[in-house]
Amino acid sequence: MAFDLFLLEVVISGLMTGVMYALVALGFVLIFKASGVFNFAQGVLALFAALALYDFLAEDGWFFAVFGFTLPVWLAIPATALIMILLAWVIERAVLRFLVKQEEIILFMATIGLAFVLEGLGDLLFGSDVKPLDIGIPQGASDWLLDNFNLYVEKLEIVAAATAAVLVTALAIFFQKTRVGRALRAVADDHQAALSVGISLDKIWVIVWSVSGIVALVAGIMWGSKSGVQFSLSLIALKALPVLILGGFTSVPGAIVGGLIIGVGEKVAEVYVGPLVGGAIENWFAYVLALGFLLFRPQGLFGERIIERV
């Protein structure tokens, strides 16, 4: 019985980690859906958002140095969101605008360049030391679950899961019900057709980069609270990639389901297979798992069917 409980704990912890991956993957999906850009900078966006948020909250930041006071959490988060929107606007103005109609790989490379720029900028502005991010999310194990079911689950992870659920619901409503959401889907479907019915591509791109900037902010908050704000935060982008190909580049539910599968698979493999081969298989196991799925569904679990014509 104890063994099963342990397995359950591993699975739950995997599911929670999966949600965290999914948060990052979600940002990728949004941008890929609306502009066909494979945005490698998503992880760095999350890092940048977390750094900016920390700056508003801490007494050793720029904001405190300039204005002499720090912002409360409820004000700092919208302020960071504003910064992300501003950043999206700058990215559209300075980079994307000039790369319309280029091949996908060129756009992909441009986002890697963008990742470098943001990384250097983040280090220059905020320094590269580890910063603890505390916005009042409860830490430690959930006592209630521990007492009643003897299960060890991090409170932070429960909060992350709840946030992810709210975020996905909000995004689903935004995409399906609002005017802007419809325009986004139209652009995702066909750039030219969208242009011809009067949708402004520039605006849509700013909007979609802003939205994924805000998603990056959420991911940054969660990962930052978990392990501090530091450079390695941007590497979660690499963790999100297998999630992405597993779920499909174009599917929001795919990102969530993919995240859960990868999270659970990774944890279970680490616990049960890892010791047999010397451990530390987390780095590549997710990719192999995703590759296995891809061999049967080349477009990912929920991706749009790839139709090719000569």
Partner 1 sequence: MFYRENGQFKSSYSADQAIFPIAQDRVFVIGILLVAFCVVPFVINEYWANAILIPLLVYALAGLGLNILTGYCGQVSLGTGAFMAVGAYASFKLVGFFPEVNYLILIFVSGLVTAAVGVVFGLPSLRIKGFYLAVATLAAQFFLIWLFNKVGWFYDHSPTGMITVRPIDFFGVRVTGPEATPAAKYLFTLAIIATLTLTAKNIVRGRVGRSWMAIRDMDIAAELIGIKPLQAKLSAFAVSSFYIGVAGALYFGVYLGSAEPLEAFDINQSFYVLFIIIIGGLGSILGAFLGAAFIVLLPILMKNLMVGGFGVASGTAGHVEILLLGALIIFFLIVEPHGLARLWQITKEKLRLWPFPH
User: Which parts of this chain interact with partner 1 (CB under 8 A)?
Assistant: 38, 94-95, 98-99, 102-106, 108-110, 112-121, 123-124, 128, 238, 241-242, 244-245, 249, 277-278, 280-281, 283-284, 287-288, 290-291, 294-295, 298-300, 306, 308-310
The smaller minimum CB distance to partner 1, of residues 34 and 156, is found at: 34
Shortest distance (Å) from residue 203 CB to partner 1: 21
The smaller minimum CB distance to partner 1, of residues 45 and 160, is found at: 45
| Residue 135 exposed, middle or buried by CB count within 10 Å (0-12, 13-18, 19+) | middle
The smaller minimum CB distance to partner 1, of residues 195 and 238, is found at: 238
Distances (CA, A) of 250 to 53, 245, 262: 29, 10, 17
The smaller minimum CB distance to partner 1, of residues 139 and 283, is found at: 283
Shortest distance (Å) from residue 22 CB to partner 1: 16
- What single-letter amino acid sits at 212? S
Shortest distance (Å) from residue 300 CB to partner 1: 7
Core vs surface per residue 235-256: b (16+ CB within 10 A) or e: ebbebbbbbbbbbbbbbbebbb
Structure tokens at 68: 């002499």
The secondary structure of residue 306, as a DSSP letter, is -
Residues β-bridged to residue 131: 229
Write the DSSP string, 21-55.
HHHHHHHHHHHHHHH----TTHHHHHHHHHHHHHH
The smaller minimum CB distance to partner 1, of residues 78 and 104, is found at: 104
Return the sign of the alpha-carbon dihedral for residues 15, 169, 42, 109: positive
Shortest distance (Å) from residue 83 CB to partner 1: 18
- What single-letter amino acid sits at 292? G
The smaller minimum CB distance to partner 1, of residues 122 and 220, is found at: 122
The smaller minimum CB distance to partner 1, of residues 77 and 118, is found at: 118
The secondary structure of residue 131, as a DSSP letter, is B
Contact 252, 168 (CB under 8 A): yes
The smaller minimum CB distance to partner 1, of residues 184 and 241, is found at: 241
The secondary structure of residue 230, as a DSSP letter, is S
Q: How many CB atoms lie within 10 A of CB 58?
A: 19
Distances (CA, A) of 44 to 20, 41, 216, 217, 240: 15, 5, 9, 11, 12
Shortest distance (Å) from residue 163 CB to partner 1: 26
Shortest distance (Å) from residue 193 CB to partner 1: 22
